[in-house]
Amino acid sequence: MTKTRSPGLPLDDKGCYAAMQAHDARFDGRFFCGVSSTGIYCRPICRVKLPKEGNCAFFVSAAAAEATGYRPCLRCRPELAPGLAPVDSVHRLARSAALTMEEDCPTPRRISELAAILKITDRHLRRVFFAEYGVSPVQYLQTQRLLLAKSLLADTQLTVTDVAMAAGFGSIRRFNDLFKKHYQLTPNELRKKGRSMEENHNGITLSLGYRPPYAWDTLISFLAARAIRGVESVIGDTYRRTVAIKKGETIHYGWISVANRPTRNTLSVTLATTLLPVLSQVLAKIRHLFDVNCSPEKVYEKLAAMNKLAPNICVPGIRVPGCFDPFEMSVRAILGQQVSIKAAGALAMRLVNLLGEKMDTPFEELAFAFPHPDRICALGAAIENHLGPIGIFGGKARATLALAEALATGSITLSYSANPGDVMKKLRKLPGFGPWTVQYIAMRALGWPDAFPYTDHGIKKALFDRPPHEILKLSQTWSPWRSYATMLLWNFLPNKLENQRGSS
């Protein structure tokens, strides 16, 4: 194999090799090591015998390694490596494109369509994408499909045909040919070499990797306090919810169950088999919800200075809870304006009981899909007459309708890959959307790491009742991780925040 170095690596070759020697999980997903003597590429945490330094080539992405001819290690499984968090604005375009393609993996957008969404030219998209990942968008997407297929073959008992379809290959022959070309194994041969997990009778189980440390208890407690009864539940340390994802003219209904496996640094994800046609979308949403692309050591390095304000404000491994359904979360935020977390949950439950789609699931506590924006739009100007009797009055009803109409018409897109600045400007123009609501939606629905709802009551209390202008000035020292600083401040006063207004 040719020894190559991919552009844009976070470390030089010696730094990468040192990380390989240490098996340091903080570098997992930041680069991949191709070994010329074996033709295999690995994650830096791989426990196989350390290769000679002279035989190592380092790549910024799995796709770049495969484009050079390397095939993935069957032991460390590169498809489980966590992704890169989209923080640096210089790289955001390329990473936004990658996130969009990962979510749309089975039905990939043409490059021109993707460029149009990002408001750039095809040529510029290809240029920034290659600079970030070392491959073209098409090569990257092909690798994502192959790695998803490899994960399904290793972790489930799905047939090869089902695997091919779920991973987005329209042709079994095409799938077999590409698989053998890249991995020098047929799908069936790889399955024999792998260790398939025991199947859940109600679904399939996959793993998603993350970088430790991971403050799981803090994150799951946040989600438990805000779970919408009938749609979401947290029992013990397991999160479950209903799912309704539209693909073309079909809505795919199902459920997911997510638990932490800290000894493996992975999330165990079980999902209904009815969701296989939208599997890549489901996995992308789960990554977003549980912030698995976070680089916790970077966050802690920047925010550790918060401990000068008071001991133990900043703790390692903090995550920002994202969302699975941006409209659902945003409506929940609207309902949480000026009321307690408990009261907002009660309003959301009534809305679901009134307008949600009834579902059958294996879990008694999960019975509804959250209403789609179209269902809210159908209420029209009379929305207050429909929602008033369940306690959603005036401004909140009108704000819910305005958001639903904006999403239905496409004038606003709530997406992890959207431009947060543009979306926030549009949200501020909607009735009932003040600074707190806009910042909160940016933090959770858009995955923007530098959102900061500085007018929040809980943040003010955590910062010893400083006035808002002082809080905003202080927060500048925490940029670009102010969303994480927000979570740290809310967690600093857990008992008080349960009944505080604003932190919905």
Active site residues per annotation: 42, 456
**DSSP label of 501:** S
The owner of tokens 């969303």 is 483
CA distance 223 to 353: 20
* Pairing state between β 232-235 and 238-247: antiparallel
CA distance 438 to 413: 13
Check: CB of residue 402 under 8 Å from CB of residue 426. no
Tally Cβ neighbours within 10 Å of residue 294: 25
Check: CB of residue 76 under 8 Å from CB of residue 43. yes
Please name every residue paired with 365 in a beta bridge, in sequence order, or none if there are none. Answer: none
Check: CB of residue 484 under 8 Å from CB of residue 325. no
CA distance 322 to 420: 14
Q: Closest Cα to residue 71, out of 43, 39, 35?
A: 39
* Pairing state between β 71-72 and 40-42: parallel
Please name every residue paired with 400 in a beta bridge, in sequence order, or none if there are none. Answer: none
**DSSP label of 31:** B
CA distance 40 to 372: 45
The number of C-alpha atoms within 13 Å of 189 and in the hemisphere containing its C-beta is 7
Q: Is 232 helix (H, G, I), strand (E, B) or coil?
A: strand
Instruction: Compute CA 456 distance to the chain's CA centroid, rounded to the nearest angstrom.
Output: 25
Give ∠ CA 423-321-387 in degrees, rounded to 5. Answer: 65
CA distance 94 to 291: 19
